[in-house]
Amino acid sequence: MKKILNVAVAVTMALSSVPAFADKSETDKNAPFSSATFKAMEMRSIGPAYMSGRIADIAIDQNHPSTWYTAVGSGGVWKTNNSGTTWEPIFDNEAVYSIGDVTIAPSNSNVVWVGTGENNGGRHISFGDGVYKSLDGGKTWKNMGLKKSEHVSDIIIHPENPDVVWVSAQGPLWSEGGERGLYKTTDGGETWKQVLTPEDEWTGVTSLLLDPNDPNRLYAATWSRQRTVANYVGTGPAAGIHTSSDGGETWTELKTGLPKGNMGKIGMAISPIDSNVLYATIEIDNREGGFYRSANKGASWEKMSDEVGGGTGPHYYQEIFADQHQMDRVYIASNYSKVSDDGGKTWTPINTKRKHVDDHAMAFHPTDPDFVLMGSDGGIYMSHDRMANWRFMANLPLTQFYKVAPDDTKPFYNVYAGAQDNSTQGGPSRTNRAEGIKNKDWFLTLGGDGHQPAVEPGNPDIVYSQWQQGNLTRVDMTTKEGVYIKPQPLPGDPAERFNWDAPINVSAHDPKRIYFASQRVWRSDDRGDSWTALSGDLTKNGNRMHMPMMGRTWSVEAGWDLYAMSEYHTIANFAESPVDENILWVGTDDGIIQVTTNGGKSWKKIELDDIRGIPATAYVNDIRADLFDPNTVYVALDNHKYGDYKPYLIKSTNLGKKWTSMADELPEKHLVWRIVQDHENKDLMFIGTEFGIFFTVDGGEKWVELEGGMPTISTRDVKIQRRENDLVAGTFGRGIYILDDYAPLRSLTKKSMEEDALLFAPSRPVKWYQPDDNHTDSDGDDRYVAENPEHGATLTYYLKDSLLTAKEKRQEAEKKLMEGKDKYPKYPSWEAVEAENQEAAPAVYLEIKDAKGDVVNRVEGSTKKGLHRVTWDMTYANAMPITDKDSASRSRGALMALPGSYTATLFKREGTTITPLAEPVSFVLESIYEGALEGATAQERAAYDGKVSDAQKRAVTTTSVLANVKDTMEVLRSAINRTQGDISKLETQFADVQTEINALSRELYGLESRERKGIKPANITSRLRYARSAVGTSYGPTQQHQDQLRYASEGLVAVSKRVSVLQQTTVPELQRAVVNAGGPWTAGLPVITE
């Protein structure tokens, strides 16, 4: 008999208790090897957003319908204030990224609650750490407890009192226990009371409703489920629907008309129009079930149809939504969602012609009955005509990538990545456009769920892509044609068992050789045209149906969801030694490592439970052969699907005989997904973890998190693009990130960071090109553009200590003094205070010189301690005249430096003293393009650019002085009018000067009156503008450009002389004449001294 405790259990949560996740603020920020030191090593998002990712919940602010919040199943919380035109991530700095629910307080739109850990039974979902509250519309957040809930299904806020909140906690997916059931707070989350306690430690609350007309009446659905690597069971006797009429203090189970056997996941909805009417979609054993309706607050139910969530199973869906505007119109979210207009009797598929399937969330407009938002595995869709047509929000970079593979395309490499339910995608690491990387730059190589891709070194036209469970395809990127090359068993062989994300490896010894794995290892020497099995079954090959689930064994009729279960007893990862082609490694999903030293003729098995501290059930997330030593291997292990969130990373230096841990310095719950080793420094490594990216420079003794530019997100893969020394990271919910040129990390050690300063040049030739500025600024604010790296030569430097002003030094000394007992600072002298106020702040800058030793430019940097990156934009110091305060910082007019060799030196300036901080470093600018036509030589282009620059300088000074003369003439007009004596001669002089000004303006700019009529004779400015268009190009000037420059330069020489006469002689004479005639003094005349 099912039992739900009707007596509420009080649970007081002290928010100051030990946190479930390590607090980043606890890191010693003063230590050289801390995340704070390396903030400047910023990861750069390259998107994409054109296929987005899984949406768990959507909330429309009913008081401000243009404001929406979306809870991303694997990507944080996002907010828009303009109906999706632009979005902002508002949860990036919190401890977790998996979100199950977002709720806005009906009585106060600034109060927003988030439940972490999405509520489905999928194989790939992450876990949360309780509930968060914001009092300022998502600007700041506070964790309010329930940290052991892991998966929160619903949060309901009292319609009138925002301090009263109910939270339904489903509890851990992978194990028993945790915080499960229904919790209530009456003080805004400071304390919690468990008001509904499920029958057992596997059962939680999966759906929660509040009567819109009676805030004391609630409905809660309970659900029992467990998933492991091997199995999934999602029904049980403790599942059911319950109601409370006293705000959750007591509960009654509803039974009349509902299924009597085991039930699984239950989705519920209440009619906003008639709150007597309830709807429920109920899963029973073996993926079956039905849709039920109650017209009397749940006292009795009627089965309306057999409709339940489909696709991969009800565990992944089972969300239903009652329309706010039409009675008995109800939607069921599924792989192909449906709508019913008769309370669930009959169903019609919604339009998916231009829409991703696999829906999880819906939201309605408070006043527009035709408006619908839908959230799916492919992002958010909006309809204004009740789903007849859809608009896709292509500006949310939420793709869940499993694995990545950078190729070696020139000049900019591509990144390929396999995505959860969003195909295998490819896109550029950067573009030559100034605006960046757009959605249109991305493309698909294969559909379905994308998994591990691979590329052929030296031949970027050959790409390997696959969809789930080993469906491997070789794609020719020249024809875009795919050839299906999945290895097939011979007659009489057992069926192949391929992992959900089967491993593929392109040999480091022969690019035509590839390895693939099922339960055995396959090798092809002709790119997959034919295959040879190198092994028998290398897994445990047991019967997973005999394994206990939810603490017991189950019969064949139980709530197994075999369709939702991946193949088990498979090879999950594979590695080939780049040093010795005969050494091959495999890691399985059932706790085994195997190694061969003879190319697969024989294998040595290593049981994980034989390794101290490693659980027998651990999944081999990654296995990586050392790039330098054939006997060394690194293995990332994962046991989270058995409720163990400890990070496991081990290393062997003797082919698996002995193992040591490399994970001792990693934070708790940062389970390790992938590891990659630098190809030049054997001790420099990177790992992707459940919540970020770490690196080590000492072979794993100490790990440092790379926080710059990274949200809290699962990093499922890390790869190195060796030509560029870039780290490429595939995240599970925020797309792809790149750390551009990480090479400075190779030289950083505890010893080297004791130096006062270090300077690092770009590790590879800097790509010299003129960015394409012909981008479209008129395609709306809802477009998505990812940033390119800064254009130019990026140099990295390290300062052991900050450069401080006198004021900062005094403040530090006072702070240290006050650390002692009864010691207080004295007020400084007035002279000292005045000196502080007048002191010029210290500065750090890089001085760039060309191969001849001439200074090309200076670039300022930060004076704070730690690592910094500054980019020289490959231009000469701007020699354009400075005509006003604004033009002092203007870069327009600076000339591009030529390809070639350069040096950079780091200097500091303190007062009037300039001191070098580090030895000069050298680097090269290298042109990335050769034009189709042969143009001017580099020297000819440089000479021409210099002539244009000289002409521009003359033009700027001439036009600036002429403008000042015009201003003076306006002042003189007033001065003449205020002159008491005879002004007839002054008027003649004034008119003569004005005639000259007008003549000069015509030569410089043309006649405005004619231009208004479309008549535009050439003038000095138009000719110079034409000449300027050839500056910085790789082709150089044509004869036309040369001619226009000559005409403009000749004209400028003559005009500038006439302007000089006006400035220095004619106008001052007129000013003096006005004063002599009794008129007022005007600016430009000498100071009156008598």
pLDDT by residue (tens digit) across 162-212? 999 999 999 999 999 999 999 999 999 999 999 999 999 999 999 999 999
Classify residue 43: in a domain, yes or no.
Answer: no
Structure tokens at 399: 């793709």
Q: Does position 933 have pLDDT exceeding 70, yes or no?
A: yes
Q: Does position 11 have pLDDT exceeding 80, yes or no?
A: no
pTM over 0.85: yes
Q: Are 111 and 162 in contact (CB under 8 A)?
A: yes
Rounded to an integer, the average pLDDT of 554-558 is 86
Give the range of the structural domain holding residue 170, as residue numbers without chain letter: 52-392
Helix or strand (DSSP H, E) at 445:
strand 443-446
End-to-end CA distance of the chain: 111
pLDDT at position 4, please? 38
pLDDT at position 19, please? 39
Structure tokens at 33: 């090897």
As to burial, measured by CB atoms within 10 angstroms (0-12 exposed, 13-18 middle, 19+ buried), residue 142 is middle
Beta carbons within 10 angstroms of residue 460's beta carbon: 17
CA-CA distance, 584 to 462, in Å (whole number)? Answer: 23
The percentage of residues in the chain with a pLDDT greater than 90, rounded to a whole number, is: 86
Rounded to an integer, the average pLDDT of 626-638 is 99
Q: Give the amino acid at 863.
A: T
Residue 304 half-sphere exposure, CB side, CA atoms within 13 Å?
A: 24
State the pLDDT confidence band at 7, using cuts at 50, 70 and 90: very low
Q: Which residue's entry shows tokens 């605006």? A: 435
Classify residue 359: in a domain, yes or no.
Answer: yes
Strands 214-224 and 240-244: antiparallel
CA-CA distance, 575 to 580, in Å (whole number)? Answer: 11
pLDDT at position 1013, please? 59
Beta carbons within 10 angstroms of residue 1054's beta carbon: 12
Q: Are 318 and 266 in contact (CB under 8 A)?
A: yes
Structure tokens at 512: 């035509």
Classify residue 847: in a domain, yes or no.
Answer: no
State the pLDDT confidence band at 1011, using cuts at 50, 70 and 90: low
CA-CA distance, 513 to 70, in Å (whole number)? Answer: 45
> Distances from the Cα of 994 to the Cαs of 966, 975, 1073, in angstroms?
9, 15, 16
pLDDT at position 1009, please? 60
Q: Does position 12 have pLDDT exceeding 50, yes or no?
A: no
CA-CA distance, 623 to 573, in Å (whole number)? Answer: 6
CA-CA distance, 173 to 539, in Å (whole number)? Answer: 25
pLDDT at position 1010, please? 63
Rounded to an integer, the average pLDDT of 888-894 is 65
Of 4-18, 441-455, 972-986, the least confident? 4-18
pLDDT at position 27, please? 47
Q: Which residue's entry shows tokens 């939201």? A: 363
Beta carbons within 10 angstroms of residue 876's beta carbon: 19
State the pLDDT confidence band at 305, using cuts at 50, 70 and 90: very high
The percentage of residues in the chain with a pLDDT greater than 70, rounded to a whole number, is: 95
Q: In what order do the strands lie in the sheet with 715-721?
A: 43-47, 736-739, 726-731, 715-721
The DSSP-derived string for 708-723 is TT--S--EEEEEEETT
CA-CA distance, 678 to 680, in Å (whole number)? Answer: 6
CA-CA distance, 511 to 506, in Å (whole number)? Answer: 6
pLDDT at position 407, please? 98
CA-CA distance, 9 to 33, in Å (whole number)? Answer: 46
pLDDT at position 887, please? 64
Classify residue 182: in a domain, yes or no.
Answer: yes
State the pLDDT confidence band at 1006, using cuts at 50, 70 and 90: confident
Rg of the chain in Å (alpha carbons): 35
Q: Are 68 and 90 in contact (CB under 8 A)?
A: no
Residue 821's contacts (CB-CB under 8 Å, 6 or more residues apart) are none
Structure tokens at 854: 């001439």
State the pLDDT confidence band at 41, using cuts at 50, 70 and 90: very high
pLDDT at position 1087, please? 84
State the pLDDT confidence band at 17, using cuts at 50, 70 and 90: very low
Dump strand ranges (E) for 212-322.
Answer: 214-224, 226-227, 232-233, 240-244, 252-254, 263-270, 278-284, 289-294, 302-305, 319-322
CA-CA distance, 960 to 435, in Å (whole number)? Answer: 32
Q: Which residue's entry shows tokens 């039920």? A: 292
As to burial, measured by CB atoms within 10 angstroms (0-12 exposed, 13-18 middle, 19+ buried), residue 188 is middle
Classify residue 121: in a domain, yes or no.
Answer: yes
Beta carbons within 10 angstroms of residue 784's beta carbon: 20
Structure tokens at 625: 């052969």
Q: Does position 363 have pLDDT exceeding 90, yes or no?
A: yes
Classify residue 20: in a domain, yes or no.
Answer: no
pLDDT at position 10, please? 44
Q: Give the amino acid at 368.
A: D
Q: What is the pLDDT of residues 749-805, one digit of tens each?
A: 989 999 999 999 999 999 998 887 776 678 899 999 999 999 999 999 999 999 999
Taking all residues of the chain, what is their mean pLDDT, rounded to a whole number?
94
DSSP secondary structure letter of residue 354: T
For helices 1039-1061 and 1020-1028, what crossing angle results, to 10°?
140
State the pLDDT confidence band at 8, using cuts at 50, 70 and 90: very low
Three-state DSSP at 1050 gives helix
Q: Are 379 and 392 in contact (CB under 8 A)?
A: yes
Nearest to 1005 by CA among 1065, 947, 958: 958
Domain end, chosen from 344, 364, 392, is at 392
Q: Does position 69 have pLDDT exceeding 70, yes or no?
A: yes
Q: Does position 560 have pLDDT exceeding 90, yes or no?
A: no
Domain end, chosen from 392, 414, 438, is at 392
Of 18-22, 88-92, 264-268, 798-802, the least confident? 18-22
CATH of the domain at 381: 2.130.10.10
Of 133-137, 339-343, 557-561, 764-768, the least confident? 557-561
CA-CA distance, 676 to 655, in Å (whole number)? Answer: 18
Classify residue 29: in a domain, yes or no.
Answer: no
Domain end, chosen from 374, 392, 410, is at 392
Rounded to an integer, the average pLDDT of 133-153 is 99
Beta carbons within 10 angstroms of residue 872's beta carbon: 24
Q: Give the amino acid at 715.
A: T
CA-CA distance, 663 to 685, in Å (whole number)? Answer: 13
Q: Are 639 and 615 in contact (CB under 8 A)?
A: yes
Rounded to an integer, the average pLDDT of 664-693 is 98
CA-CA distance, 754 to 752, in Å (whole number)? Answer: 5
Q: Are 475 and 446 in contact (CB under 8 A)?
A: yes
Q: Which residue's entry shows tokens 């082609």? A: 581
State the pLDDT confidence band at 26, using cuts at 50, 70 and 90: very low
Rounded to an integer, the average pLDDT of 454-481 is 97
State the pLDDT confidence band at 636, using cuts at 50, 70 and 90: very high
Q: Give the amino acid at 207.
A: S
Residue 209's contacts (CB-CB under 8 Å, 6 or more residues apart) are 156, 218, 219, 220, 268, 269, 270, 278
State the pLDDT confidence band at 25, using cuts at 50, 70 and 90: very low
Helix or strand (DSSP H, E) at 995:
helix 984-1005
Classify residue 925: in a domain, yes or no.
Answer: no
Residue 811's contacts (CB-CB under 8 Å, 6 or more residues apart) are none
Q: Are 113 and 164 in contact (CB under 8 A)?
A: no
Beta carbons within 10 angstroms of residue 22's beta carbon: 16
At CA 98, angle to CA 107 and CA 337, rounded to 5? Answer: 80
Number of domains, the chain: 2
pLDDT at position 770, please? 80
